Amino acid sequence: MKATNEITKILVIDDHDAVINGTIDAIKSKYSSADIIKAKTTEEAFEKLNSFPDQDIVITDLSLPEKPGDKPQPETGIKLFRHVIEQHPSLNLVVQSADTRALIRLRPQINEHQGGFTVADKGESIDQMLTKVEWSLQGINFTPREMRTGLELKQEWHSLLELAFNECLTDKEIAKKMSIAERTVRNYWTKIQDALEVYPDDDKNLRLQTEKKAREIGLID
């Protein structure tokens, strides 16, 4: 994973000029050396992803037109996300939208995605949006509350909690014990923390907060 001060390529997708220009200005204020590419339709987004496959992060609206002149629709954005998740499984993503309810259709794919995945409401402040960008670049997951209702932890996530907090194993030791890559262990952590609604806080240790929440709701003894 690159350090955030080394981020070089960002793709911004939105069909509204005011939004796309405002997003780019905000991104430049924090990542001044980034090479920012923009697209206004999913057709153009596919073209840019194929021409510039080594993006560090994609920031996109959910309701998008397929071609110039088409009506923006969430289903069009969902098709784009399915493609990105399947073809670019480690790409960091930020959904910037006023209505993200359609994302529930992608819950299984998002759970399997290896890159960062965060959601920023268009009504949020610039600072809040930039925080979601930063989290995604760190490989963190942050999804809408409606996608986290009815807590369901996969068996391997539960095993990770047991090994980390009851057997006190390191990520490297957990990877060996579970016969998976250490990167996969880190990805499991982000999924678990999103499910538990535990997110970065400068004043708190993320792992300790994860353990506290997991014990409080009975996921581990």
pLDDT in tens, 14-36: 999 999 999 999 999 999 999 99
Tokens (6 digits) for 93: 């993503």
pLDDT number for residue 174: 97
pLDDT number for residue 5: 54
Mean pLDDT across the chain: 89
pLDDT number for residue 185: 95
Mean pLDDT, residues 54-68? 94
Whether the per-residue pLDDT at 88 is higher than 70: the answer is: yes
Q: Decide: pTM greater than 0.85.
A: no
Whether the per-residue pLDDT at 135 is higher than 60: the answer is: yes
Cβ count within 10 A of residue 138? 15
Residue ranges of domains in the chain, CATH in brackets: 4-147 (3.40.50.2300), 155-216 (1.10.10)
Contacts of 114 (CB under 8 A, 6+ apart): 89, 90, 183, 184, 187
Mean pLDDT, residues 92-102? 88
Mean pLDDT, residues 110-139? 92
Instruction: Using pLDDT thresholds of 50, 70 and 90, give the confidence band for residue 218.
Output: confident
Whether the per-residue pLDDT at 151 is higher than 80: the answer is: no
pLDDT number for residue 99: 83
